A and B are shown apart, each in its own frame.
Chain A
């Protein structure tokens, strides 16, 4: 049979493809529907949080930080409740990471504050002596790209039915509003003002007062949302 195949490239290629594709078909397809169900209480990211998430991705924070707490006591003691599949229902892409050069950040919003993040991103060693993390001072001057975050939120809302502009918990109020581009931008700025009020950096405060959102503000909004 193998001699026969080795002289017939077409059938050979078909056989190769079947051998390779088999595992994917068995492993991936059956669980797709089940794994995308959100856990009760999981909400989509606000525009500012999503902007921050894009900053996180832009600087590949996931190269050194995981967002996946494994079900061991040593992990739940250190980072909090182990991760549940439904908590990631709105994560596109997932940001589990594959290496912990720094600690896990899945629930960092539970135990770090805006103030801590500001000091840490400006100069990590000032709050964590011995840290090998680089400072991200450019986040304090670069202006965040809220337009692209809006584009992403709008896309996931229309294409994947991510529940923006919906009442998720049945209290008669919209949980995560998106609205029009102008509304979303105004909402992001309001959210940024709340973060900036807790910050010390005068340039950042001035920028927000002038209607601009530095990357650091968006990033902190995202990190605070990780709970």
Chain B
């Protein structure tokens, strides 16, 4: 291929991951909505015998959305963005093409097996690391395949300088590899003893150490799955869709290196007032507050990228999704540090404020950004116009309302419960029994469930719009440079 000639990109793997993003998104979020209704109406625990209880479904929800939906989205965007910013096509390397396809196949099989085993109650119990060792090994295999794809494509790139998005994908790959390996160190018991279930294992770490490693992992799995690669996306898709240059290169450097250095320290904020050493809890607390700087650095960089072009918010719903995502990222990254302050944590920890925080971050930032990325990619991968702009707009407002219902109700629920747990009467006795503090939450659980349901309806609208775009959208004669064309 000559320099300057149009490179023909190959989207087969990006398309496959786009499909799995939508599939696992629907599964994971549907289970989430079921869980939300179960908390408001406990009779719903008995829809599927032992397989339908809240406790069995909860790991399915978290794994489904984090490792099914979000990871699929990350991989889909990787196989789309990488070719474009590195100026190289997957077609040029049959080896990397094979790696990419194998990556998808093994990944898809793993997630399906994860769904089945978690339904069966096969779990290590460690949050976001529930999968047992045979599946962990599978994860390692396709994670390495992704690494080969990253460094392989970089190796044959034509564009010498790595664009910001690539930095973030590299960081995500390396950090998750490190975290995942250390946290999942476990000894298969059947191999040692010759008895019992072959897939069972026991953690290499005990008690407080186990907690330390788990939250070092758990916090940063959030960081390097729900933050870092999502920033990779917004750095590509927002400038591309808006036609604007990234506001500040210096700010992007500061935000990137700052985030990498500070993020991992903050894991200690999950263990405040626990039995881990005090200095580590304080460190977790302090670093969480410092983390505001690099987080807001990226977010502000994105908002200022729109400088002088804010009217695009009115004309292009895709820009609206991304700007709101960035705004929710700011909300979430100021809320987390507040919860990490020791005296606030004393009230917030163990309450519904925590899932509230997680969900304004995930629903508002992660899911919005991934959906925006797909809305941008699908018309270019299929050469078709977005099927319906008005459906997109409706979806946007429906889901924004849903998120507000979700986090406001959980803020109130969490603070209410935290305050009730510690309420004393004038004789020095606890005022409330535990069940009092559960029953008072009923209305908030109902509001949250409704919020979740509205959001899920939005996800179905999204899936329908994408399906129609890929199959029935007006065919484009050439690829749009910036604003994605959409039918009214």
Residues of A near any B CB (own CB < 8 A): 2-3, 6-7, 9, 12-13, 16-17, 19-24, 27-28, 31-32, 35-36, 57-64, 66, 68, 70-72, 74-75, 77-78, 83-85, 87-103, 128-136, 138, 142, 145, 147-152, 154-156, 158-160, 181
State whether B167 touches A6 (Cβ < 8 A). Answer: yes
State whether B350 touches A27 (Cβ < 8 A). Answer: no
Q: How far is the CB of A213 from chain B (nearest CB, A)?
A: 14
State whether B197 touches A95 (Cβ < 8 A). Answer: no
Q: Is B91 an interface residue (CB 8 A)?
A: no
State whether A27 touches B210 (Cβ < 8 A). Answer: no
Q: State A147–B68 Cα separation when bound (angstroms).
A: 33
Q: State A90–B275 Cα separation when bound (angstroms).
A: 15
Q: State A194–B169 Cα separation when bound (angstroms).
A: 57
- Interface residues contributed by chain B, number (CB under 8 Å): 91
Per-residue CB contact flags for chain B residues 38-78 toward chain A (1 = under 8 Å, else 0) read 11001001100110011110110000000000000000000
The stretch of B368-376, B385-393, B432-440 in contact with A is B432-440
Query: Which residue in chain B gives the minimum CB-CB distance to A90?
Result: B206
State whether B178 touches A103 (Cβ < 8 A). Answer: no
State whether A13 touches B174 (Cβ < 8 A). Answer: yes
> If A27-B216, A155-B189 touch, does A130 touch B123 (CB 8 Å cutoff)?
no
> If A63-B58, A148-B189, A149-B196 touch, does A24 touch B203 (CB 8 Å cutoff)?
no
State whether A17 touches B167 (Cβ < 8 A). Answer: no
Q: State A63–B60 Cα separation when bound (angstroms).
A: 12
State whether B207 touches A90 (Cβ < 8 A). Answer: yes
State whether B126 touches A31 (Cβ < 8 A). Answer: no
Q: State A71–B275 Cα separation when bound (angstroms).
A: 10
Ranked 8 nearest A-B pairs via Cβ: A88-B207, A148-B196, A151-B196, A134-B45, A23-B264, A85-B275, A151-B189, A58-B121
Of A16, A57, A92, which is within 8 A of B171 by CB? A16
Q: State A159–B46 Cα separation when bound (angstroms).
A: 41
Of B208, B263, B355, which is within 8 A of A99 by CB? B355
State whether A20 touches B171 (Cβ < 8 A). Answer: yes
State whether B58 touches A60 (Cβ < 8 A). Answer: yes
Of B206, B264, B267, B283, which is within 8 A of A91 by CB? B206
State whether A27 touches B280 (Cβ < 8 A). Answer: yes
B residues near A16, Cβ cutoff 8 Å: 167, 170-171, 174-175, 260
Q: State A13–B172 Cα separation when bound (angstroms).
A: 11
Query: Which residue in chain B gives the minimum CB-CB distance to A32?
Result: B209
Indicate the member of A63, A95, A128, A133 with the most B CB atoms within 10 Å.
A63
State whether A60 touches B206 (Cβ < 8 A). Answer: no
Q: Is B446 an interface residue (CB 8 A)?
A: no
B residues near A71, Cβ cutoff 8 Å: 273
> If A22-B261, A134-B42, A150-B195 touch, does A91 touch B210 (CB 8 Å cutoff)?
yes
Q: State A72–B354 Cα separation when bound (angstroms).
A: 20
> If A21-B178, A74-B421 touch, does A35 touch B209 (CB 8 Å cutoff)?
yes
State whether A35 touches B276 (Cβ < 8 A). Answer: yes
Q: State A90–B127 Cα separation when bound (angstroms).
A: 19
Q: List 8 A-B contacts (CB under 8 A).
A: A24-B264, A27-B212, A60-B56, A85-B208, A151-B192, A155-B192, A158-B193, A159-B192
Residues of B near any A CB (own CB < 8 A): 38-39, 42, 45-46, 49-50, 53-56, 58-59, 121-127, 151, 154-155, 160-162, 167, 170-171, 174-175, 178, 182, 187, 189-190, 192-197, 200, 202-203, 205-214, 216, 253, 257, 260-261, 263-265, 267-268, 270, 273-277, 280, 283, 287, 346, 349-352, 354-355, 421-424, 429-430, 434-435, 438-439
State whether B435 touches A129 (Cβ < 8 A). Answer: yes
A residues near B124, Cβ cutoff 8 Å: 57, 93
A residues near B192, Cβ cutoff 8 Å: 151, 154-155, 158-159
Q: State A65–B216 Cα separation when bound (angstroms).
A: 21
Q: State A32–B212 Cα separation when bound (angstroms).
A: 9
B residues near A64, Cβ cutoff 8 Å: 54-55
State whether A27 touches B268 (Cβ < 8 A). Answer: yes
Query: Which residue in chain B gives the minimum CB-CB distance to A20?
Result: B175
Main secondary structure of the interface of B (DSSP, over half): helix
State whether A150 touches B55 (Cβ < 8 A). Answer: no
A residues near B121, Cβ cutoff 8 Å: 58-60
Q: State A72–B352 Cα separation when bound (angstroms).
A: 20
B residues near A133, Cβ cutoff 8 Å: 42
Q: State A182–B349 Cα separation when bound (angstroms).
A: 44
A residues near B170, Cβ cutoff 8 Å: 9, 12-13, 16
Q: State A166–B151 Cα separation when bound (angstroms).
A: 52
Q: State A135–B45 Cα separation when bound (angstroms).
A: 8
Q: How far is the CB of A44 from chain B (nearest CB, A)?
A: 11
A residues near B354, Cβ cutoff 8 Å: 98-99
State whether A78 touches B434 (Cβ < 8 A). Answer: yes
State whether A70 touches B346 (Cβ < 8 A). Answer: yes
Q: State A129–B439 Cα separation when bound (angstroms).
A: 10
Indicate the member of A71, A84, A85 with the most B CB atoms within 10 Å.
A85
Of B127, B161, B194, B438, which is within 8 A of A98 by CB? B127
> If A62-B125, A89-B207, A94-B214 touch, does A155 touch B187 (CB 8 Å cutoff)?
yes
State whether B195 touches A99 (Cβ < 8 A). Answer: no
Q: State A12–B169 Cα separation when bound (angstroms).
A: 12
Q: State A145–B207 Cα separation when bound (angstroms).
A: 23
State whether A155 touches B193 (Cβ < 8 A). Answer: yes
Indicate the member of B38, B430, B435 with the most A CB atoms within 10 Å.
B435
Q: How far is the CB of B438 from chain A (nearest CB, A)?
A: 6
Of A70, A84, A150, which is within 8 A of B273 by CB? A70
Q: State A221–B212 Cα separation when bound (angstroms).
A: 28
State whether A22 touches B264 (Cβ < 8 A). Answer: yes
State whether A35 touches B56 (Cβ < 8 A). Answer: no
B residues near A93, Cβ cutoff 8 Å: 124-126, 202-203, 205, 210, 214
State whether A130 touches B125 (Cβ < 8 A). Answer: no
